[in-house]
Structure 1
Amino acid sequence: MLTQFISAITRAVLVAFLVALPALLVPNVSADSSQVMMLIALFGALLVFIEYYATYPSIIEFRNAPPFNRLRYVAVLLTVFVIASVASNASDPNSLNGLLKSVAALAGNMLDFPYSPVRLVVVTLPAETNIASVGFVRMAAGTAYLFSLISLLVFYFMVRVLDWPARNGAFNVWVNLPLFDPTVGGDVLPRLTRDGRLNIALGLMMPFLFPAFFKAISDIANPLQLTNPQTLIWTVAIWAFFPAGLVMRGIAMTRIASMIDENRKRAYAVAQGLQPV
């Protein structure tokens, strides 16, 4: 019980730190904005603590299948830190901020090609946006998308080469997929495969659909001020990592489906008196 409490409180503190990080690094943050972010950080920390301290989860998936959630957290943390450091470089230039700005500029220029998701984010900006703000948005979008791609590649390597999640022991579908009910809708195997492929397809399309949707509604509603550093940080983080999370979830579900299929084949072979392969 003590170990579970320490684990839950540690995760809660880390989530609160992530949410509050832009308010701590970005210069000229208003007091009202800082208070709002601190409230959101406390709410996120409380939610994570309850989820990891409870015996049975309700929202957070793959709670007992590390390092799925750890990989996503580290990727988002690095993205937020890099973009916030780039934003603070204007008022607090130093060697670290300058290096991170160069890395972000390289990522933005590398991924800003015709019809790319980064280019679609840049073209959503109003025509009167100044060159410096356009460059900042390009760097932020490129950095977020690059880290999301890296997280996907790392997770795919873990699944295909490191045999995730089989190396962690028995996989409990109910605990690790609390939003997926295995008792509804017939055989669980085709449902997992179908849902996994659907998540992958949606995750691959969303980086292209979000900017198009944003551009479409900008004429009838006030668009988000992407030139505001805090707004930009969380907008590009959601834009990049929500689709990446869907792809990772889809890969995980298809992997679980293949594990169930392999276990069924072994059970059938044993039942028929055959030597399992």
Structure 2
Amino acid sequence: MVTKIFSAAMRALLVWVLIVTPTLVLTGAAGDNSPLVVFIAVLAAFFTFVEYYSDYPSIVEFRFAAPFNRHRFVTIFAIVFLLSLVCKGIFEPTSLTLYVRHWGDLLGQSIDVPYSPVRLVVLMLNENASIELVETVRTAAGLSYSISLLSLVVFVLLVRVAKWPSKSGAFNVWVNLPLFDPTGGGDVLVRLKRDANINIIFGFLLPFLIPAVVKTATDLVGNLSMDDPHTLIWTMTAWAFLPASMIMRGIAMGRIAEMIEEKRRRAYAQSEAQHA
């Protein structure tokens, strides 16, 4: 019981730190919206605590298939922290912020080619946007997109080389996939493969679709103010992390389908051997 409470509390604390990181890094550099941020962070931390303290998860997937969620957390925290440093360097440049900005510039310029996701993000800006804002957005997009790609490569290695999640023990579909109903009709193997393909396809398309949707919405409703550091950080984080998270979910579901298929083949082979 004590171990469960401590584990849930630590995860809740990490989620709280994640949400307040931009505010902590940008203290004195941007508008004061810390009360709202702290309130949202407390709500997210409370939800995380309840979710991980409960024996049966309601939303969080792969809770008992480490290190899936840890890997995703490290990915989103790296994006948020590094983008916070980039924005901090605009107001209070230091050796660290300049170093991060330098690598972000290199990554943004190398990925900023015609029809690339980074180019579409830059084109999402208003025509009257300043050169400084365009360069900052390009840097943030290149940095966040590169981190998401690196995260995908690491996860693929984790699945193919480290044989995730076989080393975590027996995989319970009902507990680790609370949003997936194994009894929803049809062969569970076919449904897992279908959902895996849908997640991978949408995850690949989202970095291209999100800038187009935002651009269309801003033309109809109003301009998205990317001048605000917090807006820039969370917009670029969502743009880079959500597609990567969907692809990782698709790869994970495909891996579970492979495990079920392999287990079925062994069961069929054993049954045939017994009746031979």
Q: TM-score, normalised by structure 1?
A: 0.96
Are 2:4 and 1:4 equivalent residues in the alignment?
yes
- Aligned positions of 1:1-277 closer than 5 A: 1-26=1-26, 27-31=28-32, 33-273=33-273
Q: Secondary structure at the match of 1:183?
A: coil
RMSD of aligned alpha carbons: 1.3
Residue 89 of structure 2 contacts residue 97 of structure 2 at CA under 8 Å; is this kept in 1?
yes
Question: What stretches of structure 2 of length at least 5 have no aligned partner?
Answer: none
Residue 214 of structure 1 contacts residue 223 of structure 1 at CA under 8 Å; is this kept in 2?
no
Residue 152 of structure 1 contacts residue 248 of structure 1 at CA under 8 Å; is this kept in 2?
yes
Question: What stretches of structure 1 of length at least 5 have no aligned partner?
Answer: none
Residue 58 of structure 1 contacts residue 179 of structure 1 at CA under 8 Å; is this kept in 2?
yes
Q: Distance in 1 between matches of 2:66 and 2:103?
A: 29
Residue 82 of structure 1 contacts residue 104 of structure 1 at CA under 8 Å; is this kept in 2?
no
Q: Which moved more, 1:60-69 or 1:214-223?
A: 214-223
Calculate percent identity across the aligned residue pairs: 49
Q: Distance in 1 between matches of 2:111 and 2:216?
A: 23
Q: Which moved more, 1:61-70 or 1:92-101?
A: 92-101
- CA deviation profile, 1:97-129 (whole Å, cap 9, x unmatched): 111111111111111111000100000111111
Deviation for aligned residue 1:193? 0.4
Q: Secondary structure at the match of 2:78?
A: helix
Residue 140 of structure 2 contacts residue 236 of structure 2 at CA under 8 Å; is this kept in 1?
yes
Q: Distance in 2 between matches of 1:224 and 1:262?
A: 49
- CA deviation profile, 1:110-156 (whole Å, cap 9, x unmatched): 11111000100000111111100111111111111111101111101
Q: Distance in 2 between matches of 1:265 and 1:4?
A: 37
Q: Which moved more, 1:120-129 or 1:88-97?
A: 88-97
Q: Distance in 2 between matches of 1:30 and 1:223?
A: 19
**Aligned-partner residue type, residue 148 of structure 2:** S
Across the two proteins, how many residue pairs are aligned to each other? Answer: 274
Q: Distance in 2 between matches of 1:164 and 1:9?
A: 26
